Amino acid sequence: MKITLDADKCCGAGQCVLVAPEVFDQRDEDGIVVLLDAEPPAEQHDAVREAAAICPAAVIEVH
């Protein structure tokens, strides 16, 4: 799995961090998404897919 972000679209909702805190974080100053692990291990894949599906700005793409 490889994750890419279109962070310019991020609205800072932070739902990805709630769902997959080991893969996503938010910048302190504006809440914009930060990718901690672009190629996370298999045990994270379900959570990452959930985060991508739930993101209210369609920022997260999973390849």
Partner 1 sequence: MTARPIAVVGASAAGLAAAEALRRSGWTGPLTLIGDEPHLPYDRPPLSKQLLHGAWEPERLLLRTEEQLAPLDLDLRLGTRATGLDTATRTLTLDGGERLACVGVIIATGVAARTLPGTEDIAGVHTLRTLDDALALRARLTGTGRRLVIVGNGVLGCEAAAVARELGHHVTLVGVEPTPMAAAVGTEVGELLAEEHRAHGVTLRTGAVDGFEADEHGVTGVRLADSGLLPADTVLLAIGSTPAVGWLAGDPALDTSDGLRCDAYCAAAPGIYAAGDVARWEHPVHGRPLRFEHRMNAAEQGMAAARNLLAELGESGERKEFAPVPYFWSDQYALKIQAYGILTGADRVEAALLDKEERRVAALYGSGGLATGVLAIGLPPRQVRTLRAVIAAPLPWEEAHPRLLAALG
- Does position 27 interact with partner 1 (CB under 8 A)? The reply is yes
Selected from 4, 38, 41, 56, the binder of partner 1 by CB under 8 A is 56
Nearer to partner 1, 37 or 57 (CB): 57
- Does position 4 interact with partner 1 (CB under 8 A)? The reply is no
d(CA 58, CA 30): 18
Q: Where do runs of H (alpha helix) occur along the chain?
A: 15-19, 45-54
User: Which residues in this chain contact partner 1 in the complex, by CB under 8 A?
Assistant: 9, 11-15, 17-18, 26-31, 49, 53-58, 61
